[in-house]
């Protein structure tokens, strides 16, 4: 049987299929289904900067309302049980998941600005998380803000977080940077041990009858694999960090492509959300059968074989390929 074991962020994984952040981690029983189906590690759903800030503001408000005396203020505390303590619940959940699962648990923190919420990285570590995934989901809408200002702030945020924890930190980023390799290298210099490519932006739709913007979350399609695949292939071997591919992995074949492009692990969310946790076992079986049929003995042997460095024609990932792809359509016009 081929060797599926691998490492990610210095953690030992039984295989390279990682459950990407999704609602599966919200309930221990559901997360356990994923672990039972064989996934190598679990990334938890994110705790958002906004949730943390909301709670601390609410707590301030709660404690300062009518607190004529300290003793009186103390009597309010029991009621906190009924209050929405999202971040505290998240920390508790980390402990529960760690207790019930024998696979690494990666907590996810989602935010962009610096501030008190960053402290939660250390609290996640103290709650037992094996690693941290920092999701810097940000969309710039202000024409006066430059990309270099934004990138600088994001790099500083990553540095602040990596300096405050001992566990490894991976950064989940967007595909839309003018020079992704440069930004990626700066994140690694700032202490990131892994890069998770990519965040999938949820594109709002427009309701032209109701004249409203409609928030839309569609699950991914397998063709979406190509965007992260190309970037993993380009970045492979150029950075001192693990690459994790997320978006569009829907099968064992998708995992093979991710590994061959150069990713350390392949992450999966939509396929599991759509078909159930048990699908992870089928995907792993497909991976194993493919490897056996093609005489690969380990995932390490496959990794990077089709990266930009590994292929005979590295320009296939670049602009040169663009012209070729377009002209190949000239003969197909009806």
Ligand X SMILES: Cc1cc2nc3c(=O)[nH]c(=O)nc-3n(C[C@H](O)[C@H](O)[C@H](O)COP(=O)(O)O)c2cc1C
Label residue 95 exposed, middle or buried (CB < 10 Å: 0-12, 13-18, 19+). middle
Q: Is 262 in the site for ligand X (CB under 6 A)?
A: no
Residue from 1, 2, 6, 4 nearest 244 by CA: 6
DSSP state of 300: H
| CA atoms of 253 and 291, how far apart (whole Å) | 10
Taking the least distance from each CB to ligand X, the nearer of 168 and 296 is 168
Of the candidate residues 6, 15, 46, 154, the single one contacting ligand X (CB under 6 A): 46
The minimum distance between CB 223 and ligand X, in angstroms, equals: 11
CA angle 282, 284, 286 (to 5 degrees): 70
Interaction pattern, residues 123-142, with ligand X; x per rule: CB under 6 A:
------------x-------
| CA atoms of 211 and 156, how far apart (whole Å) | 39
| CA atoms of 72 and 213, how far apart (whole Å) | 46
The minimum distance between CB 43 and ligand X, in angstroms, equals: 7
Q: Is 200 in the site for ligand X (CB under 6 A)?
A: yes
Taking the least distance from each CB to ligand X, the nearer of 15 and 20 is 20
Binding to ligand X in span 155-174, by CB under 6 A:
172
The minimum distance between CB 112 and ligand X, in angstroms, equals: 13
Q: Which tokens is 156 given?
A: 């500083």
Of the candidate residues 269, 280, 284, 302, the single one contacting ligand X (CB under 6 A): 269
The minimum distance between CB 19 and ligand X, in angstroms, equals: 9
Q: Is 121 in the site for ligand X (CB under 6 A)?
A: no
Binding to ligand X in span 305-334, by CB under 6 A:
none
Of the candidate residues 247, 251, 263, 307, the single one contacting ligand X (CB under 6 A): 247
Of the candidate residues 38, 104, 191, 248, the single one contacting ligand X (CB under 6 A): 248
Of the candidate residues 4, 17, 21, 234, the single one contacting ligand X (CB under 6 A): 21
Structural Rg of the chain based on CA atoms: 22
Strands 194-197 and 242-246: parallel
Using CA atoms, how far residue 102 sits from 12, 14, 34, 99, 116, in Å, is 11, 10, 11, 8, 32
Instruction: Name the residues that contact ligand X, by CB under 6 A.
Output: 20-23, 45-46, 108, 110, 135, 172, 200, 219-220, 246-249, 268-271, 273
């Amino acid at each position: 049987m081929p060797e599926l074991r691998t490492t990610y962020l210095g953690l030992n994984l039984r295989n390279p299929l990682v459950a990407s952040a999704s609602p599966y981690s919200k309930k221990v029983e559901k997360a356990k289904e994923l672990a039972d189906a064989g996934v190598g590690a679990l990334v938890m759903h994110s705790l958002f900067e906004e949730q943390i800030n909301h709670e601390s503001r609410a707590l301030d408000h709660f404690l300062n309302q009518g607190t004529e005396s300290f003793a009186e203020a103390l009597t309010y505390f029991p009621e906190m049980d009924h209050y929405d303590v999202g971040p505290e619940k998240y920390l508790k959940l980390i402990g529960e998941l760690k207790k019930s699962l024998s696979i690494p648990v990666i907590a996810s923190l989602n935010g962009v600005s610096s501030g008190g919420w960053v402290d939660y990285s250390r609290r996640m570590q103290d709650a037992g998380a094996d690693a941290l995934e920092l999701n810097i989901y940000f969309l710039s809408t202000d024409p006066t803000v430059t990309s270099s200002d934004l990138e600088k702030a994001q790099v500083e945020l990553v540095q602040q977080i990596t300096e405050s924890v001992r566990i490894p930190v991976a950064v989940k980023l967007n595909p839309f940077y003018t020079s992704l390799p440069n930004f990626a290298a700066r994140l690694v210099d700032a202490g990131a041990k892994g890069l998770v490519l990519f965040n999938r932006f949820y594109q709002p739709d427009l309701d032209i009858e109701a004249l409203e913007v409609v928030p839309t979350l569609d699950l991914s399609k397998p063709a979406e694999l190509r965007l992260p695949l190309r970037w993993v292939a380009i970045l492979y071997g150029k950075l001192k960090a693990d690459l994790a591919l997320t978006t569009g992995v829907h099968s064992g074949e998708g995992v093979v492509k991710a590994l061959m492009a150069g990713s350390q692990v392949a992450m999966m969310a939509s396929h599991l959300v759509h078909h159930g946790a048990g699908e992870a076992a089928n995907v792993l079986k497909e991976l194993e059968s493919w490897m056996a049929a093609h005489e690969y003995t380990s995932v390490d042997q496959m990794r990077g074989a089709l990266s930009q460095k590994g292929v005979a024609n590295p320009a296939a990932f670049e602009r040169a390929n663009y012209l070729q792809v377009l002209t190949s359509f000239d003969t197909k016009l009806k």
